[in-house]
Structure 1
C-alpha cells in the first residue's frame, strides 16, 4: 500500500534561493517541452525525449532532471486525456473542454518536481537531505516532521519524492510502500452514515458533529468575502496566507474521525461498512433549512465543498494498515428504512434529525438509524462475498 509523507525543509537563505531557482528553471523547461509535445501531437515519451533532451540539458538541467521533466510533461498529457475522456472537463463543445484541448499544458513556476535517489538522498539520523539544484548539489539541508512520519520514512520510503514550494516554504513529499496487515474475519460490522449536519455517524453511537466545523468554515468564508471586498495589498496578503487554512483544518478533522472509527472497529474485531460515495451530492439535498445550516448560498457551499471522498479514503487506508475489513454498500433507502422492523417509507423521516417508524412506532436519531441499516447491508455484502468464493459441492 502506497501512502505519502510530507516533511518541511529548513534551508538557509542562499539554499532557499537555489531551490526556488531550480523549481522555476525546471518548470520553465517543462513549459517549453510541453509546447513541443503539443506541436508534434503529443508523441510517446521516447520520441519526445529525442526532440527535447538536448535542449533541456543546455538549459542547465542535469541528466536525471531532464528525464524527469520529460516524463512529467508526458504524464500531464496522459492525465489531461483521461480527464477529457471521463468528462471531468465538461461536455464536448464546452468552453473549458475546448480551452484545455486547444493549447499546451502549462506548469506553474513553483509546481512540484520529482526527485529520485540519484538526485536526492536522505540522512534520517541527522534529519537532513542532500538535493540536486541547478547551481549544484546542496548538502545537509535540515527537515522537520513528526516522529511517526520519520519512522515511516526510515522503514518504508520507496521511489520518488516531490519538491514543492508553498508561499516561500519548501516541502518534500515522499512515497512510502507500507505493507498491509493481514485482514481478520470480522465479528459484525460498524455502519458509517455520512452527512452534513453530522459528518459521520457510526452504528456504535459515535457521532462526529459537523456543527463546529461548519461554524469554522462559515467564519472563514465571511472573512474571505470581507478581504476580497477591500482589495488592498494587505488584504490580498492575508488572503494568500489563509487560503489553505480551511483545507488543513478539514483534513485534520477527517483524520481524527477516521482514526476514531478504525480504532473502535479494531478494538471490537468488527468490519466497517461505508456508503458508496458516487452520487452523494445528488442524494444529500438542502431543500429546506437544516437547523444551523440555512438553505441557499451557505448550504450549497457546505454541501459541494465537503470532503466526502477524503474522509472515505482516510478510513480505507487506515483500515488497511490495521487489517480491518471494509465494504462499500448502496445507501439507497437507508434513511427511510426502519432498522428495527425493516419498514421503508418516505414519511418515516419526520425531520433532518428525527426518525419515526410509521409501522412499529420506534423513534430514533435519523443518522443513527441510517448507520445501523448501513451496517446490516455491509454484513450481508460481506457474507455474500464469502459465500461466492466457496466452491460448489459436487
Structure 2
C-alpha cells in the first residue's frame, strides 16, 4: 500500500504489532478482551537512529527519514514547540547525549494536532539514600498530598485549594461561554456548534496546562522531601478504582501526578511502589487497630482502641498518655496533639509490607475485605535505566 515507506518504519510497525499480540494473547484466547485491530491513522514508529533532535537559534527541529531511498526527498524537518523550561532541558540533554533517545512516534490527536513522542532513558545516579527509609504519600481532598516517613514524626503536605480554586473559575467561565453562545456575534456564529464552543476548547487546554504545571511542581517537591530524609522508597496508593471513591482525585488525574513522581524519583534511584490503599485510612498507625469509627471526620482520626489522635505527648521520653499535665513516666510537661487523618493514613502507607499487615489484621478480626477488579499484571519494570517520554507538539 505504501511502497515509499522506509524499511525501518515497516520493521518498527511489525515489531510493535507482535509485541502487542504477545502481551494480550492470553486474555484474547480466553475471551477477556477483543482482538486488536490495526488501521490507517495509527502512530508512525521511527527507529532511534532515523531521526535527530537539533537546536538552531533557540528553535528545536526534528530531522527524520520518512521515505525510502527510491523517493526524494527522504528526510523531512519539523519545528517542535518547546514552550516551557522543562521541555527545553530534556531536549538539550537528548542533543548532548546525556539522555538516550528511543523509538519515536508521530501521531495526531482528535483535534488535528500533530505530536512527536520521544521516549528517552538515562543512567540512574547514586545518591545518599537508604532503602530502609520509606516515604508514604496519601492523596486526599483537603490536602492534595500528605506525606509521612517511617521512623520519623516529620510530615508535610500540599493543600488542594489551589487546584479547586482554579477549577472553580474555569468551570464558571465555561458555563458563561456556553450561555453566551446563544447570542454571540458574527465571529462565532454561522459555522455550527464547534465554532461557537471554540473558546471552551481553549479553556480546556488552559486547564490541562495548569494541571501539568501543578503536577510537575508537586512531584518535584515530594521527591525533594524524600531526598532530604534519605528515603530509598516512596510508597503511594494504587488508585486504579478511585473513580468510585473520590471525585476530586478522579477529576485531577492522580495518575499523571504519580507518573511524574515516579519519573522524577527514578533520576535519584528512588523506588516508587504502589500499595493497596484499603483500610489505610481506618487503621491506627500507632497500635494497628482497624475501625471505621476511628475516622470520625474528614480531617480527624481518634483510635477507638488506644486513643491515638487525642493524646498528650511527652517529647522528652516519647511517652503518650490520656492524662493532661506532666508525663507520668518522666515528669516533663506534655503537649496535647490532635492527629490529622491524612497524616495517620500517610504513616500507614509508609509502613513496610502494610498491605500484608492489613490483610492479616482483618483476617484475625473477621472483617470482610472489599472486592476489587483484578490488577493489570502486564506492567514493565526497568532495572538499569529510568524510562520517560517527551510529548513534543509539532508546529
Specify the TM-score bucket, using the shorter chain as the normaliser: 0.5 to 0.7
Verify the 8 A CA contact 1:195 1:284 in the aligned structure 2: no
- Give the alignment's TM-score, normalised by structure 1: 0.61
Kindly provide the CA deviation profile for residues 259-300 of structure 1, in whole angstroms up to 9, marking residues without a partner as x.
Answer: 111111112212444234055527835xxxxxxxxxxxxxx4
Match of 1:367 in 2: 342
Q: Of the candidates 108, 113, 119, which is equivalent to residue 175 of structure 1?
A: 119
Match of 1:289 in 2: none
Verify the 8 A CA contact 2:226 2:234 in the aligned structure 1: no
Q: Of the candidates 44, 58, 64, which is equivalent to residue 113 of structure 1?
A: 44
How do residues 151-300 of structure 1 correspond to structure 2 at under 5 angstroms?
A: 151-154=92-95, 155-165=98-108, 167=111, 170-182=114-126, 184-186=129-131, 188-203=133-148, 204-221=154-171, 223-224=173-174, 230=181, 232-277=193-238, 280-281=241-242, 284=245, 300=247
Alpha carbons of structure 1 residues 72 and 272: separation in structure 2 relative to 1, 3 Å: closer
Verify the 8 A CA contact 2:233 2:271 in the aligned structure 1: yes
Find the aligned partners of 2:272 and 2:66 in 1 and give their Cα distance.
44
Verify the 8 A CA contact 2:51 2:63 in the aligned structure 1: yes
Residue 322 of structure 1, CA deviation? 0.7
* CA root-mean-square deviation: 3.8
Match of 1:64 in 2: 8
Find the aligned partners of 1:161 and 1:269 in 2 and give their Cα distance.
35
Q: Which sections of structure 1, spanning at least 5 residues, go unmatched?
A: 1-54, 286-299, 382-394
Verify the 8 A CA contact 1:187 1:269 in the aligned structure 2: no
Helix, strand or coil at the partner of 1:177: strand
Alpha carbons of structure 1 residues 215 and 67: separation in structure 2 relative to 1, 3 Å: same
Alpha carbons of structure 1 residues 177 and 86: separation in structure 2 relative to 1, 3 Å: farther
Q: Which sections of structure 2, spanning at least 5 residues, go unmatched?
A: 149-153, 182-191, 312-337, 357-395
Residue 335 of structure 1, CA deviation? 1.6
Alpha carbons of structure 1 residues 317 and 352: separation in structure 2 relative to 1, 3 Å: same
Larger mean Cα displacement after TM superposition, 271-280 or 150-159 = 271-280
Helix, strand or coil at the partner of 1:61: coil
The structure richer in strand per residue is 2
Matched, 1:148 2:89: yes
Alpha carbons of structure 1 residues 333 and 143: separation in structure 2 relative to 1, 3 Å: closer
Greater relative contact order: 1 or 2 (C-alpha under 8 angstroms, separation 6 or more)? 2
Find the aligned partners of 1:132 and 1:282 in 2 and give their Cα distance.
43
Helix, strand or coil at the partner of 2:165: helix
Find the aligned partners of 1:281 and 1:85 in 2 and give their Cα distance.
29
